[in-house]
Amino acid sequence: MIEDSKSKPQKVMSTTLEDTPMPSDLGWAWLPNLLLDSILEKLIPISDHIRFSAVCKHWKSLALHHKQQRVKSHHNQLPMLMIPTKHNSGGRRGLYGVTQRKPYNFELYVPYKKRCCGSSHGWLACADDNLAITLLNPFTGRTIRLPPVTEVPPQAETFKCEYYINKVVLSADPCLFPNDYEVLVLYDHAGHKIAHLKSGDDGWSHIVIRTVIGFCDLIYHEGRFLVVSYDGLVFSIDTSSGSTAKPDIILVVKHAPQGGATLVESSSGELLLIRKLDVFDFWFGKMTQSFKVYRVECACGDRPEQVEEIESIGNDALFLDYNASMRVSALDFPGCQPNCIYFVADDWTGHLNEEPQGPLHMGAFNLENRRTETHQYCIDRPKGNRTPSIWILPTIV
């Protein structure tokens, strides 16, 4: 017998507001995306992004797709010092934090027991035995292999690839701009030669600048590369004409300090030239004493060049070594000293070898009181060759 549902009393289900599940009861994953986007906008340190992504899959997805904030945070990180491990491992490197004044408790996979030839936009540049350049982001594990810069020189007995390539600089992060980044290389020991590569090119374009004794540093500044020579000349290398056209090379500064210098851009966009003053000790190598800082304005049209020594860099903190130059606003990072230059003292040399023998310490030079504070991250004097330390900008893009 089939019962008539119309004749049978119906049980009415009633719900109240208290019975309705609220997003907070369902977990953090149910927070509105607008609120989560607002949280992401305020996160700057890489460690905060990692903690955000670890909450749940939804938050991780939002963090990965929040490209605008990742680009913003990419340029507002505190550089870390990449140092050899305790046992000088050939496949891993440690990290030292200048604000914590101690090494971090994790290591990075870096399969190169050699000197890194550059650190730019979070990528390390390593020279292979055939003088090809490998770009490595040790935080993400990504690699980009570039063609050989030049042929291996004939003096194979004394040749060391990681010292033949002086410095490598990128114009942009290849992850963010995979089809629109450039690479400039100083090579041939004292930096007598320059090579340029645009993303997608099969080979390097070689740039010849005569009448100089060698180049000591380069930087990508305001849409162009700048190189400074040991005799105080600064050249602009503009490659915006295209990969097939020769770059425009212009002498923009004639009277910079001679003897070697480092170029760095301040947080306000000014070009700074830094000279490190050393006192040489025969037994213990070069002991860094102080720095001089110059504000540089390149000649442009009718505007003449200006090179002015300055005594303060304001709230900026500079991070310098032979292969990298970076800056941050110290106000963004508690424990970071403003008006200060953090530098690597990996310039101890042996009697018979002019190459660095390994890290001893790093220092923080205060421009206001002209004093240097030492950070000792390698207590024992190195036994044999150790890989020189280098600054790196942590990135997760």
Q: With respect to residue 9, please indicate whether it lies within any of the assigned structural domains.
A: no
Task: Give the Å distances, CA to CA, from 365 to 187, 292, 350, 360, 378.
Answer: 29, 11, 25, 16, 19
Q: Locate tokens 């709230």: which residue? A: 315
- Is residue 287's pLDDT more than 90? no
* pTM, to two decimals: 0.79
Whole-number Å distance between alpha carbons of 203 and 259: 32
Q: With respect to residue 118, please indicate whether it lies within any of the assigned structural domains.
A: yes
pLDDT tens digits, one per residue of 165-175: 999 999 999 98
pLDDT of residue 352: 33
Quote the number of domains for the chain: 2
Amino acid at 348: W
- Is residue 63's pLDDT more than 60? yes
- Is residue 73's pLDDT more than 60? no
Q: Is the dihedral of CA 46, 217, 125, 71 positive or negative?
A: positive
Instruction: Mark which of 10, 36, 70 sits at the end of a domain.
Output: 70
- Phi/psi of residue 33, nearest 5 degrees: -60, -35
56 lies in the same domain as 197: no
160 lies in the same domain as 34: no
- Is residue 300's pLDDT more than 60? yes
Kindly state the average pLDDT of the residues 171-189: 91
pLDDT of residue 348: 41
Q: Locate tokens 């101690």: which residue? A: 102
Whole-number Å distance between alpha carbons of 342 and 96: 12
Answer with the residue of higher pLDDT: 345 or 266. Answer: 266
Assign 302 to helix, strand or coil.
coil
Looking up residue 281, the CATH number of its domain turns out to be: 2.120.10
CA 180 to chain centre: 18
Gyration radius from the chain CA atoms: 26
pLDDT above 70 coverage of the chain, percent:
75
pLDDT of residue 154: 77
pLDDT of residue 301: 82
47 lies in the same domain as 160: no
Q: What is the mean pLDDT of the chain?
A: 80
**Containing domain of residue 60, as a range?**
26-70
Q: With respect to residue 330, please indicate whether it lies within any of the assigned structural domains.
A: yes
DSSP state of 300: B
pLDDT tens digits, one per residue of 358-396: 445 788 999 999 998 888 765 454 445 677 889 999 886
Report residue 37 as tokens.
Answer: 């986007």
215 lies in the same domain as 152: yes
342 lies in the same domain as 239: yes
Ranges of H-type helices in the chain: 23-26, 33-42, 46-53, 57-65, 67-74, 161-164
pLDDT of residue 308: 96
Answer with the residue of higher pLDDT: 114 or 222. Answer: 222
- Is residue 353's pLDDT more than 50? no
pLDDT tens digits, one per residue of 10-60: 444 443 434 444 444 456 777 888 888 888 777 766 667 667 777 888 887
pLDDT of residue 69: 54
CA 42 to chain centre: 22
